[in-house]
Amino acid sequence: MAEYNLTIPAMGESIAEATIIRWLKKEGDFINKEDLLVEIATDKVDSEITSPVNGILKKKLFSTNEVVKVGCCIAILEIEEKLKIFSLENEKKTSEEIIVKKNFYSPLVRTIAHREGIHFYELKSIKGTGEKGRVTKKDILKYIHYKNNKIFYPNEDNEEIITMNRMRKITAFHMKESKNISAHVTSFVEADVTNIVKWRNKIKDTFQKNTGEKLTLMSVFVECVVKAIKDLPMINISVNGTNIIKKKNIHIGLATALPNGNLIVPVIKHADSYNLGGLIKIINDLIKRAKSNQLKPEETQGGTYTISNIGSFGNLFGTPIIHQPQVAIMAIGLIQKKLSIIETPKGDLIGIRHKIYLSHSYDHRVIDGTLGGGFAKKVALYLEKFNCYTKII
């Protein structure tokens, strides 16, 4: 009887450990190759480890909530040719349990139910919205979300207590730590983005038709932030004790709200190496995969500066919290039409312009107002000087 040691895989050079969130199999269970075995989590991304072999789960070496170093063995599987018989019997047993009292559940629903530890009789209690009342993926995920994240305690005041999920707890910890570490100061600048808005409105339909990509303004914001960092590189730093670490690479994080209300920050690595068309493509891809929980752990690591689009919530400006170990973050507000004074060679005019507020929070331990406020103004100037004849198709 041979044994196979299942280890925590490498998940990026800056990730050294992971937490065991949930075992999806019990000791003694037969495991098919590519079956989901265990859920793990780093400080940013949840992942699943699948079995690379057929075998029996002989021994779990770590329990739920234990922290494990990358490369460490977490389970031992017994592997042998005759286990194929066990596999066939197991599949037969599973198929017999699937169809009971004329209830049918798709393979996807069964996989999710098994992963979440939902037994057949609990599955029967879920109201299906599919054809003939069948339970769909949406139905079971909604049930799981309610089950895992909401606990209702009725009392005379009819209060509802919502337990924080793991990601919310981590976010809360990091936000509080950031306020404890950095001396936060926020500067505000208004920018005229009329040229950018008109440019986008003019070409967005043609661009999407020709490329399949949605033309969002975030690509322009990232491009202008990158230009400002090149002009003022002391924004692109971190602090280690009394040492200032100046970063050569420009890695831009994009604070992204998830459908469940949590927050994640995918990172555009080497953002200065992309033209505008390249930024559009990578931003769309990162945000799409972030919202479907498909990011790799390394895609949330290594950011040197972060942008938060608070305008998507209808907010004008704010005081964003710095994403450690960075020293600055910019919030992009809602674009508004405003009556403005327009300076021309023939005199001042009054016209309607598209305006936006930039909110720039920075660490006053190492960044003074001259640099922190000046950086925000530099980004605003690049936005206002945007060439409305820029072609990306």
* From the candidate CATH numbers 3.40.109.10, 3.40.50.720, 2.40.50.100, 3.40.190.10, the one assigned to the domain spanning 1-98: 2.40.50.100
Q: Which is more confident, 282 or 49?
A: 282
Residue 12 pLDDT class (50, 70, 90 cuts): low
Rounded to the nearest integer, the mean pLDDT of the chain is 86
pLDDT tens digits along 19-57: 898 898 888 888 888 788 888 887 667 777 888 888 889
What's 271's DSSP letter? G
Q: What is the per-residue pLDDT for 381?
A: 97
C-alpha to C-alpha distance for 389 and 71, rounded to whole angstroms:
52
Residue 156 pLDDT class (50, 70, 90 cuts): low
Tell which residue, 94, 95, 86, has the closest CA to residue 54.
Answer: 86
Whole-structure pTM value: 0.69
Residue 276 pLDDT class (50, 70, 90 cuts): very high
Instruction: Give residue 264's Cα distance to chain centre.
Output: 3
Tell which residue, 331, 345, 326, 290, has the closest CA to residue 189.
Answer: 331
Range in 123-132, 170-179, 209-218, 291-300 the model is least confident about: 123-132
* Region 348-358 average pLDDT: 94
Residue 88 pLDDT class (50, 70, 90 cuts): very low
Alpha helices in 190-310 (DSSP H): 194-211, 218-231, 276-291
Q: Where do you find CATH 3.30.559.10 in the chain?
A: 184-384
Find out if CATH 3.30.559.10 is the number for domain 184-384. yes
* Region 85-102 average pLDDT: 43
pLDDT tens digits along 184-221: 999 999 999 999 999 999 999 999 999 999 999 999 99
Q: What is the per-residue pLDDT for 391?
A: 67
Residue 149 pLDDT class (50, 70, 90 cuts): low
Beta bridge partners of 185: 362
Q: Where do you find CATH 2.40.50.100 in the chain?
A: 1-98
Beta bridge partners of 352: 339
- For 190, the 3-state DSSP assignment is strand
Place of tokens 């789960």: 57
C-alpha to C-alpha distance for 352 and 331, rounded to whole angstroms:
24
